[in-house]
Amino acid sequence: MAVGQGEVYENPRCRERVVIRTPSADTGGERTVMDVYVQPGGAVSGAHVHPLSEERFTLVRGRVAFLVDGRETVLDQPGQSILIEPGAKHRWWNAGSEESRHICELKGRADRFEQLVLRQLFGLAQDGRTTPEGMPHLLQQAVTTLEFKDVLRFTSPAWPVQRALFGVLAPVARLLGYQGCNPEYMERKPSEIAELEPLPDEVKKWHY
């Protein structure tokens, strides 16, 4: 089931609330734009790369820190932006004491990104089937990583190690009922439909 504008998806482990601004269904599957609200202490579930996609993050309010290929950058003024190239190792977190809001735009494999992140990973977190940081447990990670390896790969351990390890574990995981792309999560309804917050002029310059 495709996501739609204004739909809200929540990850209680990562303290993250996402509101869809431009769904991939409106862009031929190639681009998605999301409003991302993160509570203090919230963070993406782990360092990762997007092999074929680029991401741009633009701050609306608060403070959000990024670690990109070992270099830390903090966005703390509305309109500040950072571009993550395909293949760059990165993670981000709320670096302030209040809720942050940033715009995330992903280009390339956007429809698959929505399936993986908003449905599969968020669904696992909602059901308590991840670590406290939002990472899938090992057997689940094996099948989900192999299913979506073109979209996102966590960076620890190194990809050649993951590929070999998960190649062994995935058949066992599937026999035990684990699914890389769980149909229940693909059909799970959003938590609500919200009205989009307007964007300040300094953010609009990025053509959102």
Confidence grade of residue 1 (pLDDT, cut at 50, 70, 90)? confident
The residue whose two tokens read 């782990």 is 46
pLDDT at 142: 98
Residue 57 counted as domain residue: yes
- Across all residues in the chain, what is the average pLDDT? 97
Cα–Cα distance list, 66 to 2, 4, 110, 190 (Å): 29, 28, 21, 27
Residue 195 counted as domain residue: no
What total of structural domains would you count in the chain?
1
Residue 202 counted as domain residue: no
pLDDT one-digit tens code per residue, 13-63? 999 999 999 999 999 999 999 999 999 999 999 999 999 999 999 999 999
Residue 83 counted as domain residue: yes
Confidence grade of residue 70 (pLDDT, cut at 50, 70, 90)? very high
pLDDT one-digit tens code per residue, 133-169? 999 999 999 999 999 999 999 999 999 999 999 999 9
Relative orientation angle of helices 159-175 and 138-147, to the nearest 10 degrees: 110
- Res 105 pLDDT > 90: yes
- Half-sphere exposure at residue 18, Cβ-oriented, CA atoms within 13 angstroms: 25
Q: Which amino acid is at 109?
A: R
- Res 207 pLDDT > 90: no
Residue 197 counted as domain residue: no
pLDDT one-digit tens code per residue, 174-187? 999 999 999 999 99
Residue 20: domain span = 7-190
Residue 1 counted as domain residue: no
pTM value > 0.85: yes
Contacts of 194 (CB under 8 A, 6+ apart): 6, 7, 8, 19
Domain of residue 180, CATH code: 2.60.120.10
Residue 154 counted as domain residue: yes
pLDDT one-digit tens code per residue, 127-138? 999 999 999 999
Residue 165 counted as domain residue: yes
pLDDT at 202: 93
